[in-house]
Amino acid sequence: MAIPGPLGADRGAPYSDAAMNLTTPQTALPRPTFADRLTAEAVRIHEDQTGRVLDEDGAWDAGRRSGGDLERRIIARAGATRLGGEIRQAAEGVLTGARWMLVAALALALLLGTGAAGAALGAPLPDRGGQVNIAWALGGLLGVQTLMLAAWAGTFLLPSGGGGLLGRAALQAAGTLGRRLLRRQAHILALRALLRLLGRRRLGLCTAGALTHALWAAFGVGALLACLWTLSVRQYDFLWGTTLLSEADFVSLVTALGSLPAALGIPVPDDALIRASRLGDPLPAEGRIQWSGFLLGCLLIYGVIPRLLLALLCAGISRRLAARLPLDLTAPGYARLVPRLQEDHQRIGIIDPRPVDPPALPQRRRPRPPPGRGAPLALVGYELEHAPDHWLQRADGSRCLPLGQVDDRASRRDVLAALDALDPAPAAVVAVCSLARTPDRGAESFLSDLKARAGVPLWVLLDQAGTARERGIDPQARHAVWRDLALRAGAERCLPQRTPEKDLQDAGTLLEALEQPEEPQP
Amino acid sequence: MSEELLQVAVVGHTNTGKTSLLRTLSRDTDFGEVCDAPATTRHVESTRILVDGEAVMALYDTPGLEDAPGILDWMEARRGPRAPGAETLEAFLESGEAIRRFEQEGKVLRQLRASHVGLYVIDAREPVLGKYRDELSVLGLCARPLVPVLNFVAGPDTREAEWREALARLGLHAVIGFDSVVYDLQEELRLYEKLRSLLDRFRDPLTRLMEARAREAQWLERAAAELVADLLMDAAACTLVVPVQAVQDGSALTDLQARIRRREQECAQALLALYRFRAGDYAARQLPLEDGCWGLDLFTPEALGHYGLRTGEGAAVGAAVGLAVDILALGTTLGAGTATGATAGALAGHTPGLGRRLAQRLRGRRELRPGEATLRLLALRGRQLARALSRRGHGTEKALELDTPTDDAWRRGRLPPPLRRARLHPDWSRLTPGAGGLESRARALALGELTAALMDAADTPQSPQTR
């Protein structure tokens, strides 16, 4: 169905854009027109129907290259598809067809109006030829109209929006008719997209409204013309009658209705003439012109002009709305395009490649006399969790000698100094490490320092398997990485052999190991 | 706008989730390599964040700092106990040590010096150890603002408070909590806000980025709800007309179930793509929907039980044994209380269905459609997946597992009006063969209403499940 508004709006858009561009350099790209959106919508409908996204590399590229916001990209991509091109052409044809359908519909309404006028004037009082009941004729021509106008105004209160039954019905009918008449896929898609866009919320309201009013205006014009013609070439006597109302009521009604036409200079009956025209009274011949003026004036003022104004208003609004109607970007059909159309990141890649593995740390060794039998183990805690409560702090003094805990550079130094000062030498120095820590090169360099400064065997005890497990770390894997690191740092033994379930509670593992010096290292 | 681009270096100790953070910020699940082991990333890799196709920020992923005390020792050996300064760093970077033993650290320091700001990533589950102080003092030599970012703060074992206190003692008060696994828009916005306040020169691009992120989150929420709503409309309206034998031998049911399963899988894929998670490689390592709960079959009693749908009554019983279907044949329908609404609607003229149904009944055909319990299940699962994805950071390696949702919105009571309306319109469903009403205004209105209903019924925030 042709709505002149949206179509004309295409041409109007560039001008309003020029003004916008001055203030916002970002929107320097041409603003999408209604036809653009129509194409995008038609492509979406097609993709929704077939359940498959059109996969044309050129189109994706065009969408990505177009820049700007999501809607622009979607529109650019749809326009660049082969189907999009066809739809764009088809849209022209559909719009022309729609215009013709509008003309036809208006002509039909005009004819109906003529017919209604003929019925109102052609069926006067049966037994007295040439006589017309003025109230009856007016009611027949304006009554339904006025009721429908009230109903139209009332639909604004509905939550889903009405917008005029007649207009909606006309849109529906046009859609159905179009689907029957059109054969080519692109045309059908263009029509469906047009109907769908025109059906969108406020735009739908205004479009349907414009249609409704235009059709009623055509009806009114038809009635007016028919009355004009009939009253020109035939002679009528206008009468009125009432059973229930008083004469005064009727007089004031006619006067009130006639006041607007009278203001325009149309001759209307005065009080005396109205009273004189009552049914049964002798007929005053000179009243015919006034009564005709009254009838024609009422038709014009109450039938044609309001509808015409409303039609123009609705068409104007729908034109504006159509020019800036956004696509419904959250619709699944559009949303699924987004990841491919709008990149939100751009990988630059590796700008500084991975280093070669750092050289093994130099192995120095402090010469020291071998430890005597029964010498204690020197314990060092390395980056332990809950360090103050760790069992290391309470380790038994005769077999184990806690040297302290390390968690930064200063404490490293303190521990190394304490180790230097230890005399006689311990049986071995044990670094108690936590499986909850990620083994790193800092740990490696500390362990190899420890070994170099101690001059006695270095053991690594891996503790806190339970803590690591609670944190979601895989203790087995972590254990393996620590073990590799310990061996690289030159440790003689890495304990315990198997990862325990829980955190260690005391130095038991160490003392056992001390009893079995020959434990093989895998 | 060919202005300078904001350069942000992401630095930190090894295995604190630097690459994960970068993935989450750039919405790129395939950036770099993430693994619970030391020194997974040993190179410097870069990515740019785009807004409307324009770069607003460059992020640099760096290797972990592993031996900061070693560097300080080296510097002290060179310079004596005098506090090191910028020239010490210069000397270090030009020395042979920075290429040999400390090459990894050298890369970090060089990158930080070349950037405008550093994000110092901390694994907030780790205890506050002195070594981080050493790291901060080495990084401090680069003379770039550092924003500490506490990663993994959404978990139960976070030590966020301890960390904040410790960092405050070092004079670092502007600490951001940002979990790269459990995504939170507000946290991300706070991060950018902080950068904006530190770097006034980059106010514009950062503001645009923040606006884009907020806008995008809204759009995503709505688009995801609409995807789920569309699935529900399709399922609710789906009606298959089948010969009686097909109902009796069960082949019609199998067909219907297969259609609905496929449609749900499509919806899941679409949601994954929407949130920019890879659908193609989920089976291999990301989001194996077949695993765990998501793999639960739609039509098993377990699935219904899992979602807290009672299986002891009415249509739900049918659903439990695989008959998630109302058999809408005249005679059963008109009598059955369950379908009274539908029948009333049909009689009221909303569907031309009544006459057609009669005719079909006479020709020995039946109409099959999914039962209510199936619809409820689809709604619960769809919503839950959408919600989980919106809270999932792109740095997450673990597969998505969904547990029982906490909301009751879809478990009890009547189905929302748009769905009940859809029941009367077989031609609204993609699953109904030859349906012609997909673009109808009435379906669009119902879809809009249902989308709004899905977005409104926000359930209580769940405990993070995507860990």
Task: Give me the residue spans of the domains in chain B.
Answer: 6-198, 218-456
Q: Which residue has 């964040």 as its token pair?
A: B49
Interface A-B, measured as beta-carbon pairs within 8 A, has a size of 172
Q: Which amino acid is at A15?
A: Y
Alpha helix positions (H), A81-200: 82-122, 134-155, 165-181, 185-198
Report yes or no: A32 and A72 within 8 Å, Cβ to Cβ.
yes
B48 touches chain A (CB under 8 A): yes
Is A330 within 8 Å of B223 when comparing Cβ atoms? Answer: yes
Q: Is B124 helix (H, G, I), strand (E, B) or coil?
A: coil
Report yes or no: B293 and B339 within 8 Å, Cβ to Cβ.
no
Q: Do strands A493-495 and A428-434 pair parallel, antiparallel, or not at all (unpaired)?
A: unpaired
Burial call A9-33: b when 16+ CB within 10 Å, e when fewer: bbeebeeeeeeeeeeeeeeeeebbb
Report yes or no: A33 and A10 within 8 Å, Cβ to Cβ.
yes
B264 touches chain A (CB under 8 A): no
Q: Do strands B146-151 and A493-495 pair parallel, antiparallel, or not at all (unpaired)?
A: unpaired
The tens place of each residue's pLDDT in chain B, 467 residues long, gives 447 899 999 999 988 989 999 999 999 888 888 887 777 888 899 999 999 888 999 999 999 988 888 888 888 888 777 777 888 888 888 887 777 788 888 999 999 999 999 999 999 999 998 889 899 999 999 999 999 999 999 888 889 999 999 999 988 888 999 998 889 999 999 999 999 999 999 999 999 999 999 999 999 999 999 999 999 999 888 888 778 777 777 787 778 878 888 888 888 888 888 888 866 433 322 322 332 233 344 555 555 555 555 443 333 333 333 333 333 333 233 333 333 333 333 333 333 445 555 555 556 676 777 777 778 878 887 888 888 888 888 887 776 666 666 666 777 778 888 998 888 888 889 888 877 778 787 888 899 999 998 887 654 343 333 33
Report yes or no: B108 and B38 within 8 Å, Cβ to Cβ.
no
Q: Tell me, what DSSP letter sits at residue A363?
A: -
Task: Provide, as residue numbers in chain A, all residues whose Cβ is less than 8 Å from the Cβ of B58.
Answer: 348
Is B273 within 8 Å of A410 when comparing Cβ atoms? Answer: no
**Both A291 and A213 in a single domain?**
yes
DSSP calls for A18-56 = HHHHHH-GGG-SPPP-HHHHHHHHHHHHHHHHHTS----
- Quick one: which of B128, B210, B151, B153 has its CA closest to B11? B151
**Both A332 and A437 in a single domain?**
no
- Is A369 part of a structural domain of the chain? no
Q: Which of B27, B38, B43 sits opposite A353 (nearest CB)?
A: B43
**Both A313 and A404 in a single domain?**
no
**Both A80 and A207 in a single domain?**
yes
Rounded distance, CA B191 to CA B183, Å?
13
Is B53 within 8 Å of A354 when comparing Cβ atoms? Answer: no
Token code pair at residue B285: 């390592």
Please calculate the CA angle B102-B108-B109 and round it to the nearest 5 degrees. Answer: 85
Residue of chain B minimizing CA distance to A27: B52
B42 touches chain A (CB under 8 A): yes
Contacts of B158 (CB under 8 A, 6+ apart): B124, B125, B150, B152
Alpha carbon A72 to its chain centroid, in Å, reads: 14
**Both A129 and A223 in a single domain?**
yes
Q: Which of A64, A332, A344 sits opposite B270 (nearest CB)?
A: A332
- Is A347 part of a structural domain of the chain? no
Q: Which amino acid is at B282?
A: Y
Q: Is A498 helix (H, G, I), strand (E, B) or coil?
A: coil
Give the CATH number of the domain where residue A502 resides: 3.40.50.2300
- Is A469 part of a structural domain of the chain? yes
- Is A357 part of a structural domain of the chain? no
| Positions in chain A short of pLDDT 70 | 1-29, 122-129, 156-165, 201, 280-286, 358-373, 397, 517-522
Cβ atoms < 10 Å from Cβ of A200: 19
Is B28 within 8 Å of A48 when comparing Cβ atoms? Answer: no
A383 touches chain B (CB under 8 A): yes
Distances in whole angstroms, Cα of residue A86 to Cα of each of A32, A170, A184, A188, B22: 18, 27, 10, 11, 43
Distance from CA of B317 to the nearest CA of A (A): 33
Is B47 within 8 Å of A411 when comparing Cβ atoms? Answer: no
Rounded distance, CA B38 to CA B63, Å?
10
Rounded distance, CA B420 to CA B428, Å?
12
pLDDT at B412: 74
pLDDT at B408: 67
φ/ψ of B14, rounded to 5, equals -70, 150
Residue of chain B minimizing CA distance to A440: B66
**Both A306 and A442 in a single domain?**
no
**Both A41 and A109 in a single domain?**
yes
**Both A14 and A130 in a single domain?**
yes
Q: Which residue has 């960390």 as its token pair?
A: B163
Q: Give the right CATH number for B6-198 from 3.30.365.10, 3.40.50.300, 1.50.10.20, 3.40.50.150.
A: 3.40.50.300
Question: At B78, which helix (H) or strand (E)?
Answer: helix B68-79
Q: Which residue has 């012609």 as its token pair?
A: B436
Contacts of A158 (CB under 8 A, 6+ apart): none
**Both A267 and A392 in a single domain?**
no
* In chain B, residues 54-113 whose CB comes closer than 8 Å to chain A: 54-55, 58, 60, 63-64, 66-70, 72-73, 100-104, 107, 110-111
* In chain A, residues 446-465 whose CB comes closer than 8 Å to chain B: 446
- Is A368 part of a structural domain of the chain? no
φ/ψ of A375, rounded to 5, equals -65, 145
Q: Is B405 helix (H, G, I), strand (E, B) or coil?
A: coil
Half-sphere exposure of B208 (CA within 13 A, CB side): 15
Rounded distance, CA A64 to CA A77, Å?
8
**Both A456 and A330 in a single domain?**
no
Q: Which of A49, A343, A472 sits opposite B50 (nearest CB)?
A: A343
B189 touches chain A (CB under 8 A): no
Q: Do strands B240-243 and B365-370 pair parallel, antiparallel, or not at all (unpaired)?
A: antiparallel
- Is A123 part of a structural domain of the chain? yes
Report yes or no: A407 and B131 within 8 Å, Cβ to Cβ.
yes
Rounded distance, CA B446 to CA A504, Å?
63
Rounded distance, CA A488 to CA A362, Å?
11
Token code pair at residue A327: 């696509």
- Quick one: which of A110, A319, A337, A307 has its CA closest to A224? A110
Is A442 within 8 Å of B131 when comparing Cβ atoms? Answer: yes
A159 touches chain B (CB under 8 A): no
Is A408 within 8 Å of B129 when comparing Cβ atoms? Answer: yes
B170 touches chain A (CB under 8 A): no
A332 touches chain B (CB under 8 A): yes
pLDDT at A5: 38
B432 touches chain A (CB under 8 A): no
- Domain containing A268 equals 4-341
pLDDT at B426: 82
ipTM of the prediction greater than 0.85, yes or no: no
A354 touches chain B (CB under 8 A): yes
Q: Which of A336, A339, A471 sits opposite B157 (nearest CB)?
A: A471
Distance from CA of A333 to the nearest CA of B (A): 9
Q: Which of B70, B133, B451 sits opposite A442 (nearest CB)?
A: B70
Picking from A197, A354, A390, A416 by the largest number of B CB atoms within 10 A of its own CB, the best residue to mutate is A354
Is A336 within 8 Å of B270 when comparing Cβ atoms? Answer: yes
* In chain B, residues 310-339 whose CB comes closer than 8 Å to chain A: none
A440 touches chain B (CB under 8 A): yes
Q: Where are the beta strands (DSSP E) in B65-145?
A: 117-123
Q: Which of B38, B69, B273 sits opposite A409 (nearest CB)?
A: B69
pLDDT at B136: 92
Rounded distance, CA A213 to CA A312, Å?
9
A438 touches chain B (CB under 8 A): yes
Contacts of A419 (CB under 8 A, 6+ apart): A378, A380, A403, A429, A450, A453, A454
pLDDT at B336: 36
**Both A39 and A182 in a single domain?**
yes
Picking from B29, B52, B109 by the largest number of A CB atoms within 10 A of its own CB, the best residue to mutate is B52
Distance from CA of B54 to the nearest CA of A (A): 8
pLDDT at A129: 60
Q: Which of B69, B219, B438 sits opposite A48 (nearest CB)?
A: B438
Count of structural domains within chain A: 2
Token code pair at residue A280: 């049964």
Q: Which of A49, A339, A345 sits opposite B49 (nearest CB)?
A: A345
Contacts of A117 (CB under 8 A, 6+ apart): A141, A222, A223, A224, A225, A226, A227, A230
Residue of chain B minimizing CA distance to A382: B129
- Is A362 part of a structural domain of the chain? no
Residue A269 backbone zone (phi > 0: left; psi -120 to 50: alpha; other: beta): beta
Is B127 within 8 Å of A48 when comparing Cβ atoms? Answer: no
Token code pair at residue B80: 């004596």
- Is A288 part of a structural domain of the chain? yes
φ/ψ of A331, rounded to 5, equals -60, 140
DSSP calls for A225-237 = HHHHHHHHHS--E
Task: Compute, in degrees rounded to 10, the torsion defined by CA atoms A300, A302, A303, A307.
Answer: 110
Contacts of B108 (CB under 8 A, 6+ apart): B9, B11, B44, B62, B63, B64, B65, B139
A389 touches chain B (CB under 8 A): no
Residue of chain A minimizing CA distance to B231: A332
Q: Which of A329, A330, A346 sits opposite B50 (nearest CB)?
A: A346
Cβ atoms < 10 Å from Cβ of B169: 10
Cβ atoms < 10 Å from Cβ of A105: 20
- Indicate the residue among A296, A319, A341 that finishes a domain: A341
